[in-house]
């Protein structure tokens, strides 16, 4: 319940000024192996949130497609970009009631295990970026008025009960010669920050979602998606109108022999 509530609210909060998360589809599915689940498809508009060195490589109107298959406690998430056909992010997630002590619960191959880098994301002791910090989401200070849980001390992981770990395998596939290592580093750093912020929020917002049924959460999702889509599309239309009436110098695009686009 907390995960679904957090994603819906977080997506809405991050959608502003014509950028953010537009929900394309959200429907029930069934899988022979994993059982009943939920499929979502979203467009993440983020042109203005990219660093300048990446902005120079992508068109002004830019979004990433997110497709997710949620068979809780197992989920699959994929990110692709039609502008960069050889780019993809693949994330597998499994939720277990432990303290992060289970090795290879996602059944990675030996080759993947040897090449993986293990990151521990600590929702209490890891610091979020300054622009993401909110005192109300600082779990070293937060106390739930509904459950009485919190604040969490620095050694929370040793004593917290109940406790859950979200295990994730994150693969970045990028077959582009220029800036490859720099882009991969940027993606992994960005994903880690999103996971840290999101899981802090899932706990800090517990008084809002605790006791919800799955029907309650789905209704909340629909409400937030409708509001967010309408606001996001209206802001995008307003920006298009502004851009159309603002004199600009002619733009041009060139393609290098290696396949990179350069917009100016």
Given this model, what pLDDT does residue 17 score? 64
- Residue-level pLDDT, tens digit, the chain, 264 residues: 999 999 999 988 877 766 778 899 999 999 999 999 999 999 988 656 555 555 555 555 678 899 999 999 999 999 998 777 678 999 999 999 999 999 999 999 999 999 999 999 999 999 999 999 999 999 999 999 999 999 999 999 998 888 999 999 999 888 766 667 777 888 889 899 999 999 999 999 999 999 999 999 999 999 998 988 888 778 767 765 655 555 544 433 333 333 332 322
Mapping DSSP to helix (H, G, I), strand (E, B) and coil, where does residue 74 land?
A: strand
2-236 is classed CATH 3.30.70.920: no
CA-to-CA separations, 92 to 24, 192, 250, in angstroms, rounded? 21, 14, 44
Residue-range domain boundaries for the chain: 2-236
Given this model, what pLDDT does residue 54 score? 58
Separation of alpha carbons 232 and 235, rounded Å: 5
Asked whether 80 and 65 are in contact (CB, 8 A), the reply is yes
Given this model, what pLDDT does residue 253 score? 34
Separation of alpha carbons 211 and 191, rounded Å: 29
- Residues 6 or more apart from 41 whose CB is under 8 A from it? 23, 24, 25, 26, 65, 66, 67, 68
Nearest CA to 95 among 7, 162, 166, 163?
166
Given this model, what pLDDT does residue 58 score? 58
Given this model, what pLDDT does residue 204 score? 98
CA-to-CA separations, 78 to 75, 87, 103, 202, 211, in angstroms, rounded? 10, 11, 23, 21, 30
């Amino acid at each position: 319940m907390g995960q679904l509530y957090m994603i819906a609210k977080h997506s809405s909060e991050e959608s502003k000024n014509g950028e953010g998360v537009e929900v394309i589809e959200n429907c029930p599915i069934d899988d022979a192996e994993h059982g009943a689940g939920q499929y979502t498809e979203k467009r993440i508009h983020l042109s203005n949130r990219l660093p300048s060195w990446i902005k120079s490589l992508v068109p002004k109107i830019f979004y990433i497609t997110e497709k997710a298959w949620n068979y809780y406690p197992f989920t699959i998430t994929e990110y692709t970009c039609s502008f960069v056909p050889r780019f993809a992010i693949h994330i597998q997630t499994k939720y277990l009631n432990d303290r992060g002590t289970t090795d290879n619960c996602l059944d990675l191959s030996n080759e993947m295990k040897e090449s993986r880098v293990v990151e521990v994301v600590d929702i209490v002791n890891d610091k979020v970026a300054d622009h993401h910090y909110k005192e109300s989401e600082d779990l070293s200070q937060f106390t739930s008025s509904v459950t009485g849980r919190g604040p969490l001390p620095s050694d929370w992981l040793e004593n917290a009960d109940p406790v859950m770990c979200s295990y994730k395998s994150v693969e970045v596939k990028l077959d582009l010669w220029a800036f490859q290592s720099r882009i991969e580093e940027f993606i992994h750093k960005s994903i880690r920050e999103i996971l840290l912020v999101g899981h802090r929020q899932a706990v800090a917002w517990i008084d809002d979602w605790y006791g919800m049924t799955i029907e309650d959460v789905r209704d909340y999702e629909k409400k937030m998606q409708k509001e967010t889509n309408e606001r996001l599309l209206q802001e995008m239309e307003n920006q298009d109108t502004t851009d159309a009436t603002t004199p600009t110098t002619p733009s041009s695009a060139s393609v290098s022999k290696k396949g990179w686009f350069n917009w100016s």
